[in-house]
Chain A
Amino acid sequence: MDVSGILEEHKSRLRPVQVDRLIPVDHDLGSLAGFDINMLNDAALQTDTDAREAYLQSLSREGTQLLVNELFSLPTVVDDDSVYAALPKRTTVLPREKPVPKEKEMTRWEKFAKIKGIQKRKRGAMVFDEAQGEWRPRFGFKGVNNDGQQPWLLEVPQNADQYQDQYQVRREEKKERIAKNMRRQQRNTEESAAKDVGLSPYKMRKRDLQSALVLSKGSTASMGRFDAEIKGEPRVKGLRKKRSPLVGAAGAEKSKSMDILNRVAKGDTSSTVLNVRKAQRAINNSKRAAGSSGGRDGGNKRKGSGKR
């Protein structure tokens, strides 16, 4: 049997993969790109016809063929029934989206620990609570450190007030510790931020305070004219109250008033009209203040201010 005919026919159906280029084509396989700097057929590109499209397509085919040839000769990995080519690193330089992350500034404690050679110890998050016979978190929600009446017996210190609630003392001490830690956290963030800017933390705080002061002056109705003077306060010029024009903005004024009227008429109690919770809190606070001060200087307070 002669199969040469069939083989010939089969061979003729297969088309070549070779592409001839005078200058070898550069490839950046990491970004699946090829850069061909060979001469182009300018005449074909200048015509505005199908000939140009045909030329572009054949050119593209050849360029793509070269790129595919390179990709198929890379080492392959078979995974999930698909064949992958392991790509090399990208060689084209492309810009990042955001700057390279900075190393985090060391906190005061970390600096100290480094000098002293104190190692960080890993402490488990859960603690066995023997009273209840179960594992509970060291702190946080259902944590062992925030039981109201734990331990059940507390010693009253020798020279402490007998009637003082020691549980209350404990609670307050904890609150203080938390507040102290927060202050230190704040100090650490401030110091690292100041280092970024290149100022000393003291200078930076001063600058921020002054800008806050200027802002606060502008936010009172009298533009800070009756505020208590602070030592070393920055002089601000040209602080003017923003008023809506007396004439010429009738439409805006009308809509503003109508807006308020509408909301009142509707009985809208959203935060823009009346924040009920806030009002409630304010009333409660004032009541509490009146109760605690015991009326000793409560009455006198208003006398000093009087009418200005």
Chain B
Amino acid sequence: MLVKPKAKNARSKRFLVNREPKVVENAKTAIIVRGSSTSQVILDTLKDLYALRKPNAVNFTKKNEIHPFDDETGVEFFSRKNDCSLFAVGMHSKKRPHNLILGRTFNHQLLDMVELGVEKCVTMKATGAQSCAIGARPLMVFHGETFAQNETMIMLKNILLDFFRGEEADRVSLKGLEYAITVTAGPPGANGEPGLVFLRTYTVELKKSGVRQPRVELAPMGPALDLRIRRVRFPNDDMWKQAIRVPREIKETKVKNISRDGLGDKYGRVHVGKQDISKLQTRKVKALRQRLDNKPSKRQKTE
């Protein structure tokens, strides 16, 4: 009845529990897969992608007969086996030269992916720059209005951000800002075909500027990729809805009646209960005065 694997000892139980759905999830792992035929450009690209993602990545060094756009079972299988939710598949064919597919899975099922043609790749090795520390988080900058308008580009932005952002943390070492990944949307072609996307990686050097903020200087680090978008698979609405749900435990509760202004002052609005008007002190007139002994006054008697 239950196909769930059952752990036979504590170690394997811990392993299985680690793979179960969690409120605060593990850092996403990426698999770097080679297709059945690859080019040098694609191999270089995959190698550098692996280097950038390193602690949370699995590099497949053998060829795999895998075509995610035609048949998603392959990536879903790898995703389940390796417990990973990001994949980069590289392949090369006459029809689609230097093909790079970046995508994501949700619950080991394909969520979305985008196919990119690598038109140019300058590797880390070629630039000769010192590569970043393993596990360092990059600064990411997206240039171009299409990243806010075009649906495909918005998705590409989301995937790239997910792919490179590294492990989530609530603080960052200001000395550890080692490298930056910038993505620039090039202009569309004359016939309306989508433009190139320039992905550049730079090492960041922070220099003294005389003020609190340092002066930033960049040096090319690699990979530097010129990408052209090919096929795209958008996420299924239902699945996407499931995927972006925030667990109740970490959802921020709305704080009512407290606001802050730009100067950092805190304002609170206080609810004062309903005022009791019957006890309100009005003008003291003799006629309205109640007698202490509760006897009716002379005038009331006469009426």
A, B bound:
yes
Asked if A193 and B175 sit within 8 Å, CB to CB, the answer is no
> Of all chain A residues, which has the CB nearest B245?
A100
> Of all chain A residues, which has the CB nearest B143?
A36
Alpha-carbon gap, A280 to B133, bound state (A): 59
Alpha-carbon gap, A241 to B107, bound state (A): 37
Residues of chain B with a CB closer than 8 A to A65's CB: 215-216
Q: Say which residue of A15, A40, A60, A100 sits within 8 Å of B209 (CB atoms).
A: A15
Tell whether A246 is near chain B: CB-to-CB under 8 Å. Answer: no
Q: Determine which residue in A36, A38, A71 has the highest number of CB atoms from chain B within 10 A of its CB, and name it.
A: A36
Residues of chain A with a CB closer than 8 A to B168's CB: 30-31, 90
Asked if B216 and A94 sit within 8 Å, CB to CB, the answer is no
B 197-239 contacts with A by CB, 8 A: 198, 200, 202, 204, 206-218, 220, 235
Binds A, one of B22-30, B36-44, B272-280, B295-303: B22-30
> Of all chain B residues, which has the CB nearest A70?
B213
Tell whether B158 is near chain A: CB-to-CB under 8 Å. Answer: yes
Asked if A32 and B107 sit within 8 Å, CB to CB, the answer is no
Asked if B23 and A40 sit within 8 Å, CB to CB, the answer is no
Asked if A95 and B137 sit within 8 Å, CB to CB, the answer is no
Tell whether B73 is near chain A: CB-to-CB under 8 Å. Answer: no
Q: Say which residue of B171, B206, B215 sits within 8 Å of A14 (CB atoms).
A: B215
Asked if A83 and B215 sit within 8 Å, CB to CB, the answer is no
Residues of chain B with a CB closer than 8 A to A56's CB: 182, 184, 198, 200
Q: Say which residue of A15, A34, A95, A193 sits within 8 Å of B1 (CB atoms).
A: A193
Asked if A98 and B22 sit within 8 Å, CB to CB, the answer is yes
Interface readout for A28-43 with B: 1 if CB under 8 Å, 0 if not?
A: 0011111111111010
Asked if A71 and B215 sit within 8 Å, CB to CB, the answer is no
Residues of chain B with a CB closer than 8 A to A98's CB: 20-22, 25, 85, 106-107
Alpha-carbon gap, A83 to B175, bound state (A): 7
Alpha-carbon gap, A63 to B182, bound state (A): 8
Known interface pairs A45-B186, A83-B175. Does A14 touch B210 (Cβ–Cβ under 8 Å)?
Answer: yes
Asked if B171 and A85 sit within 8 Å, CB to CB, the answer is yes
Interface readout for B136-164 with A: 1 if CB under 8 Å, 0 if not?
A: 01111111110110000000011001100
Tell whether B2 is near chain A: CB-to-CB under 8 Å. Answer: yes
Residues of chain B with a CB closer than 8 A to A35's CB: 141-142, 147-148, 157
Residues of chain A with a CB closer than 8 A to B2's CB: 189, 193
Tell whether B165 is near chain A: CB-to-CB under 8 Å. Answer: yes
Asked if A60 and B22 sit within 8 Å, CB to CB, the answer is no
Tell whether A112 is near chain B: CB-to-CB under 8 Å. Answer: no
CB distance from B20 to the nearest CB of A (A): 7
Tell whether B111 is near chain A: CB-to-CB under 8 Å. Answer: yes
Residues of chain A with a CB closer than 8 A to B21's CB: 98-102
Tell whether B243 is near chain A: CB-to-CB under 8 Å. Answer: yes
Tell whether B104 is near chain A: CB-to-CB under 8 Å. Answer: yes
Tell whether B242 is near chain A: CB-to-CB under 8 Å. Answer: yes
Residues of chain A with a CB closer than 8 A to B148's CB: 35, 37
Alpha-carbon gap, A263 to B5, bound state (A): 32
Q: Say which residue of A11, A85, A190 sits within 8 Å of B174 (CB atoms).
A: A85
Q: Say which residue of B141, B187, B242 sits within 8 Å of A34 (CB atoms).
A: B141
Asked if B175 and A64 sit within 8 Å, CB to CB, the answer is no
Q: Determine which residue in B25, B143, B185, B187 has the highest number of CB atoms from chain A within 10 A of its CB, and name it.
A: B143
Asked if B214 and A68 sit within 8 Å, CB to CB, the answer is yes
Tell whether A97 is near chain B: CB-to-CB under 8 Å. Answer: yes
Known interface pairs A63-B143, A101-B247, A205-B1. Does A94 touch B172 (Cβ–Cβ under 8 Å)?
Answer: no
> Of all chain A residues, which has the CB nearest B26?
A97
CB distance from A33 to the nearest CB of B (A): 4
> Of all chain A residues, which has the CB nearest B219?
A57
Binds B, one of A72-80, A125-133, A219-227: A72-80
Asked if B25 and A17 sit within 8 Å, CB to CB, the answer is no
Residues of chain B with a CB closer than 8 A to A90's CB: 168
Alpha-carbon gap, A65 to B211, bound state (A): 13
Q: Determine which residue in B1, B26, B85, B212 has the highest number of CB atoms from chain A within 10 A of its CB, and name it.
A: B1
CB distance from A40 to the nearest CB of B (A): 6
Alpha-carbon gap, A99 to B245, bound state (A): 8
Asked if A92 and B161 sit within 8 Å, CB to CB, the answer is yes
Q: Say which residue of B20, B142, B171 sits within 8 Å of A77 (CB atoms).
A: B171
Tell whether A59 is near chain B: CB-to-CB under 8 Å. Answer: yes
CB distance from B266 to the nearest CB of A (A): 16
> Of all chain A residues, which has the CB nearest B19?
A98
Alpha-carbon gap, A101 to B25, bound state (A): 10
Asked if B216 and A11 sit within 8 Å, CB to CB, the answer is no
CB distance from B217 to the nearest CB of A (A): 7
Known A-B contacts: A16-B209, A92-B158. Give 5 more (CB < 8 A).
A15-B209, A17-B209, A67-B180, A93-B158, A208-B1
Seen from chain B, the residues whose Cβ lies within 8 Å of a Cβ on chain A are 1-2, 20-23, 25-26, 28, 85, 104, 106-107, 111, 137-145, 147-148, 157-158, 161-162, 165, 168-177, 180, 182, 184-187, 195-196, 198, 200, 202, 204, 206-218, 220, 235, 240, 242-247, 252
8 nearest A-B residue pairs (beta carbon): A95-B243, A63-B141, A60-B182, A98-B21, A42-B187, A97-B85, A84-B171, A33-B140
Seen from chain A, the residues whose Cβ lies within 8 Å of a Cβ on chain B are 11, 14-17, 30-40, 42, 45-46, 53, 56-57, 59-61, 63-65, 67-69, 71-73, 76-77, 82-87, 89-90, 92-102, 189-190, 193, 204-205, 208
* Listed A/B pairs (14) with beta-carbon separation below 8 Å: A14-B209, A32-B138, A36-B144, A38-B143, A38-B145, A64-B202, A68-B213, A76-B174, A82-B174, A85-B171, A86-B170, A87-B169, A89-B252, A96-B106
